[in-house]
Amino acid sequence: MKVGFIGLGNMGGPMAANLAAAGHAVTGFDLAAPCPEGVTMAATAAEAAAGGDVVITMLPNGEILEAVAAEVIPAMTPGAVLCDCSTVDVESARRVAAEAEAAGLGAVDAPVSGGVGGATAGTLTFMAGGSEDAFARVAPLFEVMGQKAVHCGASGAGQAAKICNNMILGVTMIATCEAFALADKLGLDRQKMFDVVSTSSGQSWTMNAYCPAPGVGPHSPADNDYKPGFASELMLKDLRLAQAAAQMVDADTPMGLAAAKLYETFVEEEGGRGRDFSAMLPRFERRTRT
């Protein structure tokens, strides 16, 4: 396929390189990032998008996505598909899809899970929203860049699935970290805590696969001085998107709200920026109830 790829940063760069390595003709554009292997760079986003069967965007937020979409939609060939893989708010995703469809294009919102490691290895999970037809046309590219693609529903459904998943992840990480810090103060050995919880009803991905305690469980960012991994500020971004969505539909999400506030304090006041989101554990270790 002819693919336009806009946003070649930590995630987009390796995703575009994997598409090129699989034999797709990839034309890329980024304001700053270097050219990934096998990709031809264009001078503008519109030039990267022109003539593409599919145009993929992998950008920082909804505002930038809307600006880029306004530039590329008029340049795209009618019948082509605009596929946004960024994590953005549900409203922006729906607006961009409506604009693309009004211009005779297909539209898919397909945020990812799996991080930079998954983007490099081609093992991302895509959660997609949009029409059956548009999803089917992008699916062969998802197969190259990922190991699984779930079609979640209409436009915006991919972003909805992503923020619900990450709200669970943020809340669960905090619960796992505060439980470890409590166990420490009760004199419980961390390995014993892991052995029990990872095989009991308190088990979770954050305990079993991404344990926040160094030297315990499988290798994780905790074993690498909490270098990300998944940075705390990216978790904060996703928790804020979840709160924006909850506000939009009047959903009561007290745990999600508490998690957003905690990560906000951690990132903005406690040196959490640039540290893995599991570094909540050393934060709780240092604290008392007051």
Closest CA to 137 of 110, 177, 158: 110
Of 2, 148, 162, 185, the catalytic one is 162
Rounded to 5 degrees, φ, ψ at 216 are -125, 135
Q: How far is the CB of 235 from ligand NAD (least distance, A)?
A: 10
CB 135 within 8 A of CB 128: yes
Packing angle between helix 254-269 and helix 157-185, nearest 10 degrees? Answer: 70
Residue for token digits 């590329």?
72
Using CB under 6 A, which of 1, 3, 4, 11 touches ligand NAD?
A: 11
Residue for token digits 């990934």?
36
Per CB under 6 A, 257 contacts ligand NAD: no
Using CB under 6 A, which of 3, 6, 213, 246 touches ligand NAD?
A: 6
- Residue 283: CB atoms within 10 A of its CB come to 20
Closest CA to 59 of 107, 19, 15: 15
Sort 151 into a burial class: Cβ within 10 Å, 0-12 / 13-18 / 19+. Answer: buried
Sort 200 into a burial class: Cβ within 10 Å, 0-12 / 13-18 / 19+. Answer: exposed
Rounded to 5 degrees, φ, ψ at 126 are -105, 135
Using CB under 6 A, which of 180, 230, 266, 284 touches ligand NAD?
A: 230
- Residue 268: CB atoms within 10 A of its CB come to 12
- Would you give the binding string for ligand NAD spanning residues 89-128, x where CB under 6 A is met? -----------------------x--xx------------
Per CB under 6 A, 12 contacts ligand NAD: yes
Per CB under 6 A, 142 contacts ligand NAD: no
Using CB under 6 A, which of 30, 53, 109, 276 touches ligand NAD?
A: 30
Total number of residues binding ligand NAD (CB under 6 A)? 26
Q: Given the complex with ligand NAD, which of 156 and 181 has the nearer CB atom? A: 156
Residue for token digits 């980024």?
30
Using CB under 6 A, which of 3, 54, 58, 267 touches ligand NAD?
A: 58
Q: State whether residue 225 is helix, strand or coil.
A: coil
Q: Taking contact as CB under 6 A, which single stretch among the options 28-36, 170-178, 246-254, 282-290 is the one that binds ligand NAD?
A: 28-36
2 is catalytic: no
Using CB under 6 A, which of 1, 59, 145, 207 touches ligand NAD?
A: 59
Q: Given the complex with ligand NAD, which of 106 and 229 has the nearer CB atom? A: 229
Host H or E run for residue 199: none
Per CB under 6 A, 243 contacts ligand NAD: no
Per CB under 6 A, 38 contacts ligand NAD: no
| Structure tokens belonging to residue 107 | 């539209």
Q: Taking contact as CB under 6 A, which single stretch among the options 23-31, 95-103, 255-263, 270-278 is the one that binds ligand NAD?
A: 23-31
Residues forming the site for ligand NAD (CB under 6 A) = 6-12, 29-33, 45, 58-60, 64, 68, 86-87, 112, 115-116, 230, 234, 237
The residues annotated as belonging to the active site are 162
